[in-house]
A and B are shown apart, each in its own frame.
Chain A
Amino acid sequence: NAGVTQTPKFQVLKTGQSMTLQCAQDMNHEYMSWYRQDPGMGLRLIHYSVGAGITDQGEVPNGYNVSRSTTEDFPLRLLSAAPSQTSVYFCASSYSGGPGYGYTFGSGTRLTVV
């Protein structure tokens, strides 16, 4: 069981470039989500999905797109990278988004936009 796998682990982008952060889980979890973590600010929810074909915005969705074509994969796309998007990004999954279940997090992607 690999759990939640995020790639790449590190990435440097130039302002204006686009890229996709990959997230895959092998636990057959319905719920998947993306968070970003900035120093002193805790984790903030970007986008989430309650199942294949269903996505919704979190609290900081601007500049990011997501899609969920399969249960296993939930990629996060940066459309035009900005220095404000320099952060550590975590993908998380859960059997259900409900409060009776814990979340499994990936090890993160550290993104620097110059």
Chain B
Amino acid sequence: DAKTTQPNSMESNEEEPVHLPCNHSTISGTDYIHWYRQLPSQGPEYVIHGLTSNVNNRMASLAIAEDRKSSTLILHRATLRDAAVYYCILREQGGSEKLVFGKGTKLTVNP
């Protein structure tokens, strides 16, 4: 599985945008970029995924660099409920079904 690198922690203020970066310099052409988050004492929650183009859904936006070696998860207006550990995961086309969770980025949202 290709490796991803994320900052250990980030801090944001409530109602401000948050940009969570992820580096994946060894990504292959068929790897999908997935983001999950895990709130305290809960199971992981799917956030968004993409392949090449930027993606938007009701939870967040995913901005993928043109060379695909990095991506950014964007929370447009952080709320206290967004405080969680965010995981950036690569999924290979035709590869293993398992999700490989790294250490992720712990996001703290200040009121």
Which A residues form the contact surface with B (CB < 8 A)? 4, 31, 33, 35, 42-43, 45, 48, 50, 58-59, 90, 92, 97-100, 102-108
Contacts and interface: CB of A to CB of B under 8 A. Distances in A.
14 contacts: A31-B97, A33-B97, A42-B102, A43-B101, A48-B98, A92-B43, A97-B97, A99-B32, A100-B32, A100-B51, A103-B36, A103-B44, A104-B46, A105-B45
B31 A99 contact: yes
B106 interface: no
A43 B44 contact: yes
Contacts of A100: 32, 49, 51
Given A50-B97, A99-B91, A106 B49 contact: no
B93 interface: yes
Interface of B: 31-32, 34, 36, 42-46, 49, 51, 91-93, 95, 97-99, 101-103
A108 B43 contact: yes
A106 B43 contact: yes
A48 B43 CA distance: 17
A101 B44 CA distance: 15
A106 B44 CA distance: 8
Contacts of A105: 43-46
Contact of A59 (B98, B101, B102, B103): B98
A48 B34 contact: no
A106 B35 CA distance: 17
Contacts of B32: 99-100
Contact of B98 (A4, A33, A102): A33
